[in-house]
Amino acid sequence: MSILGGVAALGRRTRTALISLGQMARFFVMLITRLGIVVKRPRLVLQQVHFIGNYSLLIIAVSGLFVGFVLGLQGYYTLNRYGSEEALGLLVALSLTRELGPVVTALLFAGRAGTSLTAEIGLMKAGEQLAAMEVMAVDPIRRVLAPRFLGGIIAMPILAAIFSMVGILGGWFVGVVLIGIDTGAFWSQMQNGVDVFNDVLNGVIKSVVFGVAVTLIALFEGWQCRPTPEGVSRATTRTVVAGSLAVLGLDFVLTALMFS
């Protein structure tokens, strides 16, 4: 009986996982088909870019700066053994544009912007505001969710680019100002090794994909949550966990596709 129960639990889990995957796919399609609101009311999207992007700027910039500092210090420690500390600029720039910029930004984005989106939508649902909109013949997906979705997709690549830039400047500060690497060698090695299309553009593509994934998960969790305080809190937690895991998984797939 207990073996049978275990098998049944496994089956139930698989079924619920499949169902929520299907629901998310349907939710994604519903969002895409309602993106026309950008043309009609661009101000809604603008407000969301402000809410999602501008308010995340501080944590993104500070994290980028410190990631750059640490890359500078740690990279110097290793490169110094081989007498090639001039390659520090290359190491910092490649790690930031290819991997750390998009990934760390997306993880912070899930924690900073994703949670607030989920909590906002969840509380709107709990307060029956979304139901009230439907009663007034206003499509809540179109009016509330689609602008947030677009705002997230627009804000994420911008944040990732700022993260990479601030990180490179942080690496430059540690390498050139504190340690004393030649500044010309630092930049010229970087420019020789970083390809605009292979490295920078692929990093931007990554950050767009992560923006879509994290914002979609955040909105979906808010939309699907139980309309109770506990339900909203669980949905917020799930946004961070599922969003971060999705970013890491997608990063592996994208890296394998782009750089191999």
Partner 1 sequence: MSNEKVDVWVGLFVLLGIVALVFLALRAGNLSSFSLADTYTVQARFENIGGLKVRAPVKSSGVVVGRVADIRFDDSTYQAVVSFDLEKSFEFPTDSSASILTSGLLGEQYIGLDAGGSEQMLVAGDAINLTQSAVVLEQLISQFLYGTAESEGAAQ
Our measurement of the distance from residue 131's CA atom to the centroid of its chain's CA atoms, rounded to an integer in Å, reads 29
209 or 232: CB nearest partner 1: 209
Grouping H, G, I as helix, E, B as strand and the rest as coil, residue 215 is helix
Instruction: Write down the least CB distance from residue 168 to partner 1, Å.
Output: 6
79 vs 58: CA distance, rounded Å:
31
Q: Provide the binding-site residues for partner 1, judged by CB under 8 A.
A: 43, 46-47, 49-50, 53-54, 57, 93, 97, 155, 157-159, 161-162, 164-166, 168, 187, 190-192, 194-196, 199-200, 203-204
202 or 244: CB nearest partner 1: 202
Greatest Cα pair distance, the chain, in angstroms, is 73
Tokens of 160: 């990732």
92 or 247: CB nearest partner 1: 92
Instruction: Write down the least CB distance from residue 93 to partner 1, Å.
Output: 5
Instruction: Write down the least CB distance from residue 162 to partner 1, Å.
Output: 5
Instruction: Write down the least CB distance from residue 83 to partner 1, Å.
Output: 12
Looking at the chain, list the stretches that DSSP marks H as alpha helix, in order from N- to C-terminal side.
2-33, 37-40, 42-52, 57-81, 88-94, 101-109, 115-126, 129-135, 140, 146-172, 183-193, 202-224, 229-258
204 or 235: CB nearest partner 1: 204
End-to-end CA, the chain: 49
46 or 126: CB nearest partner 1: 46
